[in-house]
Amino acid sequence: MTEPLIIGAMVRTLGAYPSGWRQPGAHRDPSADAEILRRIAREGEDAGLDYLFFGDWLATGPDLEFRDPYLLARIDPVSAVLYLAGVTSRIGLIATVNTTYADPYATARSLASLDLLTGGRAGVNLVTGAEPRAAGNHGRDAHADNESRYDRAEEFVVALRRLWDSWSEDAWIADAARGVLIDPDGLRGADLRGEHVRVSGPLNVARPPQGRIPLVHAGTSPRSRALAATEADLALIAAPNIADAIATRRQLREIALRSGRSPEGLAVIAPVLPVVAPTDADAHRIVERLLALVPLDEGHQSSRTAFPANRSVVALADALGVGADEPLRSAGFDEVVTRDQAGRLGEAGQALIERLRLIAGLRVGDDGETALTWRHLVAAHAVPAAFVVGDAATIADHFETWRDQGAADGFNVLSAFQPAQFEAFTRLAAPELRRRGLLGRSDGAPTPLRDRLGVGGGVEVGSEQRAASSLLVR
216-238 pLDDT, tens digit each: 999 889 999 999 999 999 999 99
Confidence of residue 456 (pLDDT cuts 50, 70, 90): low
Domain parsing of the chain, residue ranges = 6-277+387-473, 295-382
Calpha distance 71→184 (Å, rounded)? 46
Record the pTM. Answer: 0.94
- pLDDT tens track for 30-74: 999 999 999 999 999 999 999 999 999 999 999 899 999 999 999
Residue with the bigger pLDDT between 428 and 132: it is 428
Q: In this structure, which topology does domain 6-277+387-473 adopt according to CATH?
A: TIM Barrel (3.20.20)
At 326, the pLDDT band (50, 70, 90 cuts) reads confident
Residues 268 and 242: beta-carbon distance below 8 Å: no
Q: Output the CA angle 337-352-379, nearest 5 degrees.
A: 70
Angle, CA 90 vertex, CA 403 and CA 6 arms, to 5°: 10
Please give the Cα distance from 353 to 205 (Å, whole number). 56
Pairing of β 192-193 and β 472-473: antiparallel
Which residue, among 461, 458, 4, has the nearest Cα to 234 in the 3D structure? 458
pLDDT reading at 471 higher than 50: no
